[in-house]
Amino acid sequence: MKRVLSATGHEDIEQLLRAQYLTVRLRTRGDNKHFMVEQNTAGPVTLGHAAYGMSVDMAGEPIGALVIGHVRSGSATYVSRGRRRTWGPGDVFLGVEADEPFTATLDHLDSDFVIFDPATLSDVACTAPGVAGPVRLEGHGAVSPRAAARFMRTVAFLHHLTDDDPTGTPGPDASPLVALQAARLLASVTLDTFASNAMLEPTIEDRHDVHPATVRRAVAFIESHPDLDLSVVDIARAAFVTTRALQLAFRRHLGTTPLRYLRRVRLDRAHADLLAADPAVDTVTAIAARWGWARPSRFAADYRAAHGRHPHQTLRS
């Protein structure tokens, strides 16, 4: 559900920012001291658009979350870890790190932003063998314009998920499974957008684990727990291998990925629920959301591809 907030005047703007996001100290310059923000939530992810009608100097404490921005107009200058970085129109950038204080100068900034827990990065990737600590971002700017564009397309898609559909059906807040999958999608694209300490290519040790037994353990785990919020890290842990080895094993032996296999299992469970459902009480939308689909149209397309008919036909049969 989209929320729109605004404030006018130094004290009201500072109070709004503190209430919504972070402990911050402000100094504003300019006559038009107006701030507007609109935001959606997708489970643990906050997506938003903010517009400052003035220049702002800001100092903030660590907030335990990553804040990634995209400049529409104006500029943003952030200082953290002793380095100063300025971003202009079109730039996608890491503005706030989870565990670092920062200062910033926002000059009539109009920007998109996302806020999420950095621990989500470790749900979709792992570090190299022998590297201690979680997966973390090491670059503050997008690695390429193409990567920045892909990141913003993903953000637009997540906005689409968080909006209520025309029938009034809520977005993914109604389905925790959908919301957490949305967070992991964002984490995956973030690792593709910024330099990090994640190691994505299999090592020699990983290749030793690429055998049918790995796939059997993973498949057994998936088929026993498709109703749970499973990440590729969860599946790899159950198979006693790294995420890199797991991905390679599924590609080599099944010609798919662990998460695509999980989606097919969930489609089969949804199919069973549709067959057992009472059409006077149950709906395709509710069954789709139960198994991780936020949009009935997307579920219908996936279901038709797997089972050769529309889910409404199965429900009424």
Reported as a pLDDT band with limits 50, 70 and 90, residue 167 is very low
Of 184, 199, 214, which marks where a domain is finished? Answer: 199
Does some domain include residue 236? Answer: no
Q: What is the CATH number of the domain that holds 87?
A: 2.60.120.10
- 34/54 Cα distance (integer angstroms): 7
Shared-domain flag, residues 189 and 290 = no
Separation CA 242–CA 232 (nearest Å): 9
Query: Could you tell me if residue 256 is inside a domain?
Result: no
Structural domain for 285, as ranges:
263-316
Q: How many CB atoms lie within 10 A of CB 49?
A: 18
Greatest C-alpha distance within the chain? 68
Span 164-171, mean pLDDT?
Answer: 47
Query: Of 224, 230, 302, whose CA–CA distance to 267 is shortest?
Result: 302
Do 143 and 287 share a structural domain?
no
- Kindly state whether residue 45 falls inside one of the protein's structural domains: yes
* Domain contains 240: no
* Total domain count, the chain: 2
Q: What is the pLDDT of residues 60-97, one digit of tens each?
A: 888 889 999 999 999 999 998 889 999 999 999 999 99
0.85 cut: is pTM over it?
Answer: no
**Closest by Cα among 231, 301, 287, 280 to 259:** 231
Task: Indicate the residue among 199, 220, 246 that finishes a domain.
Answer: 199
Q: Is residue 161 domain-resident?
A: yes
**Both tokens of residue 194?**
């910024």
Tens digits of residue pLDDT in 27-54: 888 777 899 999 888 778 899 999 999 9
The string of pLDDT tens digits covering residues 232-273 is 889 999 999 988 889 899 999 999 999 999 999 999 999 999
Measured between alpha carbons, how far is residue 39 from residues 1, 35, 56, 266 in Å?
Answer: 8, 13, 20, 31
